[in-house]
Chains A and B, each alone.
Chain A
Amino acid sequence: MSFYTINSLTFSYAGTDKLFQNISFDIEANQHIGLVGPNGCGKTTLVKLMLGILRPQGGEIYLEGNNIKDISLSDVGKKVGYVFQNPDKQLFCPTVLEQMRFSFTYGGCGSAEAINDNTDYYLKAFDLMQYKSLSPMKLSRGEKQRLALASVLSRDVRFLILDEPSTGLDILRKKQLENCLMELKQEGKGYMIISHEAKFLDRYVDRLLKLHAEGVEYA
């Protein structure tokens, strides 16, 4: 059984032509996939469907064999970590530290010691320690992106979906992201990255999933 099974997926936004029609593919839990395609082809929409944020007009999406429409968003979130394309949409806590600890506090997982260690590790890894008592809204675009990445990477999820994770990161911080991706690979965790940076994808993904008007195909 695949981690994700997408079966004859059809979707369109109200009043527009069909974005996808009958697309099907599988993703394994330990796969490292790059999702590519031209602007507006529906990459982020596909991810939102895979997370259960949007509902398809046709076809099914199965997560570990269960239809995504029967799983609550919080249960999807416990299995799949998602870094939003726009970090502003992801950050809602009053401080950086609370944002990092949110999943542990409200998701109810991990001991206090493990939470502290994990939080500190990722705050250091993304150079955010000095901002931990600041409001996420006071951070720059790049810092927000790092916080969004750190808060998702610190969680013990089986699979990650990263929507343009390197946007707004300088060379040093991109290197830090790359280190984290290497760690995820070593831990046997899978991920899917949406990106337009071919070199970045070449280094960190095993397969490319190409999305275009006619459908989807593995390259």
Chain B
Amino acid sequence: MKIDPRTRIILVFLISSAAVVIKELIPLLFLLLLTLILCRMFSVHLSGSIKRLRKLLYFFIILALIQSIFTPGEETLIAAGGLKILTTEGLEAGISIIIRMSVIILSALIIASAPAMDVVYGLIAMKLPYEIAFMVLLSIKFLPLFREEFADSIIAVQLAGADLVKIPLRQKLSLYTYVLTPSVIKALNRARLISLSMEARGFRIYPDRTSYCKLSMSRMDYVTITAASAAVLLIISYNFSIIG
């Protein structure tokens, strides 16, 4: 069934806002469950996306550790001398941040799994100026472009004989600096070329655009938005009932 891109945008807005508002662990888990159900409904290729996000795992763990250590609490789990290193509240805060980040990333996948142009049409239909909608499209495309450029440069570096595992740390750092700057410039150049080619085809020549794509919300869209909103509201009210 074809779901309107506006439905995806509204749901992502709802879920990511809720992820910021909800502070308690159990409601966050419910929100994660809801996000997973929606991902399944929108046919998000979860296993592939999670594989790609595996590289962020260390970042999540470090973030959770910092959060755990610096959150004050009463019930001490690990202490060194008189110093509390980890408390129950700290551990909860660490786990919460991992769940919150997962919810935000998974909800973003609901938009990312839609064709990029559908997202643009959705944003325009939501009365966003079309220039800004296309800017959103380009910014969504920038990160994969940068990743591709960086990966290509790393391959070129290795094929030129540099062993990234064996070279000393100082050389490795200077090498990454070598690669990072041109990768950013190349990605920016590619984004600039895309914008030039869009302008060469008459982009922004008139204040408005006529589109062949006419979006219309079906009953399924309304049902999905209503059900998801109700679920999010329930989870938020449960969160506040716990806080008391």
- Please list the residues of chain A having a beta carbon within 8 angstroms of any beta carbon in chain B: 51, 53, 72-78, 82, 84, 88-94, 102-103, 106-109, 137, 151, 155
Contact = CB atoms under 8 A, between A and B. Distances in A.
Contacts of A90: 156
B158 A73 contact: yes
B178 interface: yes
A89 B160 contact: no
A102 B174 CA distance: 12
B162 interface: yes
Chain A CB count within 10 A is highest, among B181, B182, B185, for B182
A75 B179 CA distance: 20
Contact of A77 (B158, B171, B181, B186): B158
Contacts of B179: 92
A104 to B, nearest CB: 8
A106 B165 contact: no
Nearest to A89: B152
B156 to A, nearest CB: 5
A47 to B, nearest CB: 11
Contact of A78 (B155, B156, B161): B161
A76 B171 CA distance: 20
Chain B's interface size range is: 20 to 34
B188 to A, nearest CB: 11
Nearest to A99: B160
Contacts of B167: 106
A109 B185 contact: no
B190 to A, nearest CB: 9
Interface of B: 152-153, 155-165, 167, 171, 175, 178-179, 181-183, 185-186
Given A89-B156, A93-B178, A103 B186 contact: no
Nearest 9 A-B pairs (CB), nearest first? A107-B161, A106-B162, A73-B158, A77-B159, A74-B163, A92-B153, A89-B152, A103-B161, A103-B160
A95 B167 CA distance: 22
A73 B175 contact: no
Given A92-B179, A92-B182, A137-B182, A74 B158 contact: yes
A14 B15 CA distance: 31
A158 to B, nearest CB: 13
A92 B157 contact: yes
A100 B7 CA distance: 53
A109 B161 contact: yes
A106 B152 CA distance: 18
Chain B CB count within 10 A is highest, among A89, A103, A137, A155, for A89
Given A73-B158, A92-B179, 5 more contacts: A74-B162, A78-B161, A102-B160, A107-B160, A137-B186
